[in-house]
Amino acid sequence: MKKILATKMLSEEVVKYASSLGFELSMMEVIKTQCLPFDLNSINWKGIDAIVFTSENAVNCFFNNAPKSSKETFLEEKKIISTSGKTAEALIEKGFSPPITGKNAEELSQKIIFSGTIKSVLHICGDFTIDIIKRNLENRLIKYKALTFYNTIAVENKKPGGGF
């Protein structure tokens, strides 16, 4: 049986599926996230065309930050843009269907650029965000601002079991 180490906790369904394929799955969390408090009133919303999310954690921390009615007011007439997969799914669960998605930050930034309608972006992100979106957008003279809504924290672990 081949061994796989997952660096986050997975559902029982995934564990059973891996086993059915002949894999022994060990799980060990290596990071956790912590949402940061933030005053949404401190953002100049008038100067922003689009809000970009590149992680499910950013979506959850942003939408847990203020009362629902406030978020709807802040997000009026803004394009909500995200990476595809879990990030887009989290936005849909919150009632927002991103008109632009990309499989990663590089693809997403290219789609933003080629839309031709976005002149300024607010990127809701964590403290370990890569600068691909910032670099690509600023190279095309699209205003970019990042706001950190969560921190990533390393989890202290012992060595994983199962012969890893």
Helices then strands, counting H and E runs in the chain, come out as 6, 8
Extents of the domains making up the chain: 33-151
Q: 31-67 pLDDT, tens per residue? A: 888 999 888 878 888 889 999 999 999 999 998 876 5
Query: In Å, how far are 79, 108, 111, 145, 163 from 47, measured between CA atoms?
Result: 13, 21, 20, 11, 54
**Encoded tokens for 60:** 């959850």
Domain 33-151 has CATH 3.40.50.10090: yes
pLDDT of 143 above 90: yes
pLDDT of 72 above 70: no
User: pTM for the complete prediction?
Assistant: 0.82
**Highest mean pLDDT, choosing among 9-23, 24-38, 58-72, 128-142:** 128-142
Map residue 73 onto helix, strand or coil: helix
